[in-house]
């Protein structure tokens, strides 16, 4: 199989062929060859070579050496994140990882074949030679055609060497929408507890890729079926088959997965996806009674605590944790819309945070669709959104003017009293019609003109202005109502 050279950016080709011109063997390798074969855009470009790290560095002065893995990163001038650094790795053998984090020693290999043999999956053990032909020692092309993730060599050995490969298998199955080959998958099931040996940060990075992929639901199910979920998020497994009351069609686990499915389908953020997946995770612990009338009091409070524990254990960033916990904790927010006051609405907005409202409504929607009951956005929810928007509208008052009552009294030399208010209201009306007029110089000049009018005239003008302001506010409200179909 040949790959069109046009598919490879010249930055990559230049670096690759500089090695060849210097009489070294060099190949594109791994994920980028897999993606080229599948006609996908590679996320990064890796080169493997028989040149030693010092030799590579001599050819590329603008490079840095990652000692542990014999990898030299060549910095380029590209802004494309996939091309900023091209990694060149000397042929190497599988290292022995007694702590499962850092190889005890990494040995160089002599040949490309040896290097490909230590790679995780057959579809990742492909290389591209200088004639743009795919080199395939482990039947990777055939597995690409069959859309299969399969370890190079014996799965048990390969997963024992590096248990992170188990979750990588699931991550790739999600990103590529592939199946995991049967024996490979059976072995993950058997060795799932080995994942505990891996640094949580590395596990988290793979997990995030699973959660953000379009096949994320399949990912969660694969994690569950492979026993990895039991190792990583046992709290979710405890929701499995936990029955709910009459307001729900599904058990807790299925409901969480369906909510998550909606968040994935709508391409919501990582935080909203996590909140959808965890929002009812406190239910098994708070369940009281059985059957159609069982209850789950305070499940959102318990669930928020559990969510924090889970995400901390998995080493998510504080920013992500705080956001997801906040969403889970308040996902039941509720207002009795027929009795509610505007100040109660404002208190709610304050509690949820204006900047989070959008995400709360996304979560609410995922929760509702995930319950499998009703489809359309219900009137109550639309009314709540309307109230929240309404509570954020600032009333039109003379405070918006660039002058105030003191200025009026001072400039016109009049005492405080209703007349001061009349002036301000008249000016406010002029400013609403033409915001340019809202500057001190103009307003003071205009004030002196208005001062020529009689009290009767001023009072009348001010009343007209007041009516106009009410009219504008009414229209804003009508617009909001029609926006939310109230
Ligand atoms: P992506 O598209 O996310 O970049 P990738 O397959 O390229 O996926 P990388 O982490 O970039 O993944 O790794 C590059 C290559 O290095 C892989 O294709 C594989 O050949 C090899 N590799 C990565 N991690 C492992 C591992 N844990 N064990 C064995 N080989 C690995
Ligand atoms: Mg890659």
Three-class SS of the chain: CECCHHHCCHHHHHHHHHHHHCCCCEEEECHHHHHHHCCCCCCCCEEEECCCHHHHHHHCCCEEEEHHHCEEEEECCCCCCCCCEEEEEECECCCCCCCCCCCCCCCECCCHHHHHHCCCEHHHCCEECCCCEEECCCCHHHHHHHCEECECCCHHHHHHHCCHHHHHHHHHHHHHCCEECHHHHHHHHHHHHHHHHCCHHHHHHHHHHHHHCCCHHHHHHHHHHCCHHHHHCHHHHCCCCCCCCCCCCCCHHHHHHHHHHHHHHCCCCHHHHHHHHHCCCCHHHHCECCHHHCECCCHHHHHHHHHHHHHHHCCCCHHHHHHHHHHHHCCCCCCCCCCCCHHHHHHHHHHHCHHHHHHHHHHHHHHHHHCCCCCCCCHHHHHHHHHHHHHCCCCCCHHHCCCCHHHHHHHHCCCCCHHHHHHHHHHHHHHHHCHHHCCHHHHHHHHHHHCCCCHHHHHHHHHHHHHHHHHHHHHHHHHHHHHCCC
Tell me, in angstroms, the distance from the centre of ligand 1 to residue 477's CA. Answer: 56
Q: 136: Cβ below 6 Å to ligand 1?
A: no
What local confidence, expressed as pLDDT, does residue 103 receive? Answer: 61
What local confidence, expressed as pLDDT, does residue 201 receive? Answer: 95
Reading phi first (left if > 0) and then psi (alpha if -120 to 50, else beta), residue 25 is in beta
What local confidence, expressed as pLDDT, does residue 192 receive? Answer: 98
What local confidence, expressed as pLDDT, does residue 309 receive? Answer: 98
pTM of full prediction above 0.85:
yes
User: 403-408 long-range contacts, Cβ below 8 Å, gap at least 24?
Assistant: 403/427, 403/440, 403/443, 403/444, 403/447, 407/440, 407/444, 407/447, 408/447
Choose which residue among 36, 66, 70, 119 to substitute to test ligand 1 binding: the one with the highest number of ligand atoms within 8 A of its C-beta.
119
What local confidence, expressed as pLDDT, does residue 96 receive? Answer: 66
Q: In the numeric block, which tokens belong to residue 416?
A: 């405080």
What is the rounded distance in angstroms from the CA atom of residue 306 to the CA atom of residue 304? 5
Atom 27 (ligand 1) nearest CA: 165
Ligand 1 atom at minimum distance from 30 CA: 18
Strand pairing category for 148-149 and 179-180: parallel
Choose which residue among 28, 29, 30, 69 to substitute to test ligand 1 binding: the one with the highest number of ligand atoms within 8 A of its C-beta.
30
Q: 44: Cβ below 6 Å to ligand 1?
A: yes
Ligand 1 atom at minimum distance from 118 CA: 29
- Spatial CA neighbour of 380 closest among 341, 337, 344, 349: 337
- Spatial CA neighbour of 476 closest among 347, 386, 345, 401: 386
C-alpha distances out from residue 245 to 248, 283, 288, Å: 6, 11, 10
All structural domains of the chain: 5-146 (3.30.460.10), 147-232 (1.10.110.30), 246-392 (1.10.3210), 398-483 (no CATH)
Q: 164: Cβ below 6 Å to ligand 1?
A: yes
How far is it between the farthest Cα atoms of the chain?
102
Would you say 296 and 290 are in contact if contact means Cβ atoms under 8 Å apart? no
Per-residue pLDDT of the chain (486 residues; tens, 9 = 90+): 999 999 999 999 999 999 999 999 999 999 999 999 999 999 999 999 999 999 999 999 988 887 777 899 999 999 999 999 999 999 999 876 666 666 667 789 999 999 999 999 999 999 999 999 999 999 999 999 999 999 999 999 999 999 999 999 999 999 999 999 999 999 999 999 999 999 999 999 999 999 999 999 999 999 999 999 999 999 999 999 999 988 888 999 999 999 999 999 999 999 999 999 999 999 999 999 998 899 999 999 999 999 999 999 999 999 999 999 999 999 999 888 778 889 999 999 999 999 999 999 999 999 999 998 766 678 888 898 999 999 988 888 999 999 999 999 999 999 999 999 999 999 999 999 999 999 999 999 999 999 999 999 999 999 999 999 999 999 999 999 999 998
Tell me, in angstroms, the distance from the centre of ligand 2 to residue 45's CA. Answer: 6
Q: In the numeric block, which tokens belong to residue 480?
A: 């909001």
């Amino acid at each position: 199989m040949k790959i069109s050279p046009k598919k490879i950016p010249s930055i990559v080709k230049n670096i690759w062929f500089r090695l060849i011109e210097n009489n070294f063997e060099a190949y594109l390798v791994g994920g980028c060859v897999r993606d080229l074969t599948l006609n996908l855009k590679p996320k990064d470009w890796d080169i493997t070579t028989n040149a030693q790290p010092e030799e590579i560095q001599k050819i590329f002065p603008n490079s840095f050496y990652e000692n542990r893995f014999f990898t030299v990163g060549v910095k380029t001038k590209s802004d494309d994140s996939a091309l900023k650094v091209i990694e060149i790795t000397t042929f190497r053998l599988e290292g022995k990882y007694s702590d499962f984090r850092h190889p005890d020693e990494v040995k160089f290999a002599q040949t490309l074949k040896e290097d490909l043999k230590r790679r995780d999956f057959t579809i990742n053990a492909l290389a591209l030679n200088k004639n743009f032909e795919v080199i395939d020692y482990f039947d990777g092309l055939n597995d690409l055609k069959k859309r299969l993730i399969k370890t190079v060599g014996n799965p048990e050995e390969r997963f024992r060497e590096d248990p992170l490969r188990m979750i990588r298998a699931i991550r790739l199955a999600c990103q590529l929408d592939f199946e995991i080959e049967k024996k490979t998958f059976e072995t993950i099931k058997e060795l799932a507890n080995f994942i505990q040996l891996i640094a949580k940060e590395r596990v988290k990075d793979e997990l995030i890729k699973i959660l953000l992929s379009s096949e994320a639901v399949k990912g969660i199910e694969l994690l569950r079926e492979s026993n990895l979920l039991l190792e990583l998020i046992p709290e979710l497994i405890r929701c499995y088959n936990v029955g709910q009351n009459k307001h729900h069609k599904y058990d807790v686990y299925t409901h969480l997965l369906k909510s998550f499915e909606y968040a994935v389908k709508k391409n919501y953020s990582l935080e909203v996806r996590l909140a959808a997946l965890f929002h009812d995770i406190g239910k098994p612990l708070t369940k009281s009674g059985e059957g159609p009338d069982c209850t789950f009091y305070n499940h959102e409070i318990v669930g928020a605590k559990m969510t924090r524990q889970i995400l901390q254990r998995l080493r998510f960033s504080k920013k992500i944790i705080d956001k997801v916990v906040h969403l889970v904790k308040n996902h039941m927010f509720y207002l009795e819309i027929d009795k509610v006051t505007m100040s109660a609405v404002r208190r709610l907005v304050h509690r949820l945070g204006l900047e989070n409202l959008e995400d709360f409504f996304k979560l609410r929607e995922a929760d509702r669709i995930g319950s499998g009951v009703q489809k359309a956005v219900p009137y109550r929810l639309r009314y709540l959104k309307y109230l929240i928007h309404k509570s954020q509208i600032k009333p039109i008052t003379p405070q918006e003017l660039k002058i105030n009552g003191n200025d009026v009294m001072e400039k016109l030399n009049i005492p405080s009293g209703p007349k001061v208010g009349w002036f301000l209201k008249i000016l406010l009306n002029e400013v609403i019609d033409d915001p340019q007029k809202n500057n001190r110089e103009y307003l003071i000049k205009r004030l002196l003109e208005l001062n020529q009018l009689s009290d009767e005239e001023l009072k009348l003008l001010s009343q007209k202005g007041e009516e106009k302001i009410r009219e504008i506010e009414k229209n804003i409200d009508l617009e909001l109502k029609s926006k939310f179909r109230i």
